[in-house]
């Protein structure tokens, strides 16, 4: 079966940051990843590269930031009054927070702290980075109607509900 819209795909993968050569994530020695194709479960550049592939196919693809986790944006760096962190004992650079916004929760990293303001960065940690994926397609199956309706995979490797 060929990978196309609304197929459930299981892959083994390794992700390397191109600039540093650092391995960011790998399913080697662990469970493979299962996702619903065409439902934006994975980054666009990887999903495009998987289109038309079949079980047993192995390939490498380098994905530019705009098709991965986005460009790094200075607009996502904000200064917040220290009072916004009431209840946190000590705010320090490197701390991660989840903030509730009108667009849903976003993850923030504290980059600087002074007496009155805390600087937070809402860029994805992999924003601005080109990523190399090494992929092996393990299996492909039809999605159920329920999976298509939910936009994600059920059962093994997916949502348990
Ligand atoms: Zn579901």
Please report the domains of the chain, with CATH numbers, ordered by start residue. 7-69+126-150 (3.10.50.40), 74-121 (2.40.10.330)
User: 150: CA distance to ligand 1 center in Å?
Assistant: 5
Average pLDDT rounded to a whole number, residues 57-83: 95
pLDDT surpassing 90 at residue 46: yes
User: 148: CA distance to ligand 1 center in Å?
Assistant: 9
How does the average pLDDT of the chain come out, rounded?
A: 95
What residues are neighbours of ligand 1 (ion), with CB under 5 Å?
150, 159
Instruction: List, for residues 94-104, the tens digit of each pLDDT value.
Output: 999 888 888 88
The percentage of residues in the chain with a pLDDT greater than 90, rounded to a whole number, is 85
Distance between the two ends of the chain, CA-based, in angstroms? 27
User: 43: CA distance to ligand 1 center in Å?
Assistant: 20
User: 47: CA distance to ligand 1 center in Å?
Assistant: 20
CA distance 104 to 107: 10
pLDDT surpassing 90 at residue 44: yes
Lowest mean pLDDT among 84-93, 115-124, 127-136: 84-93
């Amino acid at each position: 079966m060929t990978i196309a819209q609304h197929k459930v795909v299981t892959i083994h993968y390794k992700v390397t940051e191109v600039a540093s050569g650092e391995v960011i994530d790998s399913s080697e020695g662990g469970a493979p990843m299962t996702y619903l194709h065409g439902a934006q479960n994975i980054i666009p550049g990887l999903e495009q590269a998987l289109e038309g592939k079949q079980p047993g196919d192995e390939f490498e693809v380098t994905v530019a930031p705009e098709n991965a986790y986005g460009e790094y944006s200075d607009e996502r760096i904000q200064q917040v009054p220290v009072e916004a962190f009431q209840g946190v004992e000590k705010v320090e650079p490197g701390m991660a927070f989840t903030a509730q916004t009108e667009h849903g929760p976003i993850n923030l990293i504290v980059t600087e702290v002074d007496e009155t303001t805390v600087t937070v960065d809402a860029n994805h940690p992999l924003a601005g980075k080109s990523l190399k994926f090494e992929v092996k397609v393990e299996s492909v199956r039809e999605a159920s109607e329920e999976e298509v309706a939910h936009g994600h995979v059920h059962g093994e490797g997916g949502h348990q509900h």
